[in-house]
Structure 1
Amino acid sequence: MAVDIDQRIITRLVTLGAFFLAYYAYYSYPTLPSRKISSGNAVYDPSVVDVLVVKAMLKKALSLPPEIIDSIVDLAEYWPHTTSEVSFEPPMTACGGLGRKENMFLLRSPPLGLHTWRRVSHRTNDPKPVDRAPLKPQPPGEEFSADDFQALIASPIPLLAHPCRRIVFTFKSHDQGWGGLPNDRGTYFGSWTWFEAGLERWCKTNPAQTDSATQQAQQAPQPSLKLDDLCTVLPEVEQGPNSHGYAYNHTLHPREDLKIQCNLTAEKQSKVHRVVWSYVDDIDPERDVEAAERLAEQGRGKATGNAKFVRDLKLGDIVTIWAKARFGNWRNAVEWVKMEVFYAV
């Protein structure tokens, strides 16, 4: 028989449970591997198995419904995550006014939720690791469902169709060190060097096959997890010149919903920027104009504070990072990039 629980009691249970879970995670395991955060405190990084064990303990000890346990885990931010990073020596440089060099692919995450993904590529002779290898433009077709990915995950229980909870981007970069309007120098205004997020996804069909019978015959039964089979959702892919192949449609101006961070204008010294996109962000650029403007003052896109990108990510999705530069003499010099993707189990 279902038992009705007062909403106030639920809130207290979730808060109390999250407190004990946070204590359990941060202080009970000093001998386990940890990472360092800016304050210097050790923070334990849970694995998928760790999260499942804690949820089983909460269920057994408190006899709570699964949805309350999930809320406790989310409130305590007890999530597994993947990390991708790359350093460039000399710096990777996106160059404004030089065609293909205006938009430089930098990095991709492992598929969301597929923590044990084995990175496989058809291009075995490619010297670049698959998290840094650019792809040929290929538009998305019919998508796989979340169920199609469940057999490929590292969890004995199904994952959510939209499991992403947070993405942390970190950059060390600078522009050419001069130019721009005098009043913009040293600020994030008037900057024409920036970073944008992208999205890749495996699909059942390839829209390049115009014949429906051919598409059906070539429909993939499950995601191949091979690099060359990925389709690009963002940036958009369009028919190339003279209907030969496909090309990326990189917009001239930054996309306010995808712009992660721009460089300080006319500053030749590299600066480290750390940008967090969370599933609980709640800045609607149309409703809260002042808050959106504050994002712009920090060098972010005005429409990146509404959680849409994070909440819309699907199981198996891959997040990418692109370096951008526009107009002659503008240079985006990239020394280091890191991306951490946190997801619920």
Structure 2
Amino acid sequence: MRKITFAEAINEAMCIAMHKDKNVITFGLGVPDPKGIFGTTIGLQEKFGSERVFDTPTSENAMTGVGIGASLNGLRPVMVHQRVDFFLLAMDQLINNAAKWRFMFGGVCRVPITIRLIVGHGWGQGPTHSQNLQSMFSQIPGLKVVMPTTAYDAKGLLLESIFSDDPVIFLEHRWLHGLESDVPEGLYRIPIGKSKLMREGSDITLVSLSYMTIEALHAVDELNKIGITCDLIDLRSTSPLDSDTVIKSLSKTGRLLAIDSASESFSVASEIIARVSMASYDKLKSPPDRIALADEPSPTSFGLTDKYYFGAKEIALRVLKILGVDAKINSKNFAKKHPHDVPGDWFKGPF
């Protein structure tokens, strides 16, 4: 097994899919640019030509319509947006066309389009460039919504998405693109709707997604040092939502903390808590809890973002509160050597 970055895994999945099926195309703002959307599309146009890999006009709604039309006529488009915020201009195409077509025509017509959207914050990316909208997409029947954390999952889930006959929203947190993990060569696919148990424990169940799983892993490792063990479940997709794995874990731990990168009200974390409360309320040893962003727009100011966003330290402290444990964690182990609104020194800017 070799280690490659999340971005390299996305790029590799695209190459494999386009080699395997000539009907796979990819397009979007910045796709053929030198930086290749965080490195995920570098070299694709050189390998597969400008007819299959191309830039688009700044017309999100129209170009999404083109992609949907292409998918209805035998192609498997992968459409890329450098920000989830930009894609809001294409919601009519997504909700009233892509998501509904299969149902409206009795399953005869499918829309096998994959829409890659970048989420995440940092470097002063404020309220119109830092939104995490996974719960909104997950509320739309007919859509699959994927949020990988590791490079391994990014490759396998993207390949599964591209070869799915349904529209898929593929959400990538831009703080993950530089992270490495073990990724096999060649084609493999990961079923959409199956979560992954990242850590095993007995005291509490943590449920997370995308970049917040990285923060949760850090919190779990620190909690282990003081004798607290956690089941950590990485959802990997929010529609379908694998609540069965969460409920199974809860029957062991009896406690739940749902972690979300979006605003807490009406969030994926809220849905997890709702399902657990309905299915396993008798297994709960304490009220289920969630940690997410405040119900306010994302701030731009460096002074405000420090209080708005949370990470491993806040997760660990919330676990201690839920467990009612009067223990101390070493705050120095959560200290960052770089500014709080970037994931590391390797992160050079918003694009």
* TM-score in terms of structure 1 length: 0.24
Identify which of structures 1 and 2 has the higher relative contact order when contacts are C-alpha pairs closer than 8 Å and 6+ apart: 1
Q: Which has the higher helix share?
A: 2
Q: Which has the higher strand share?
A: 1
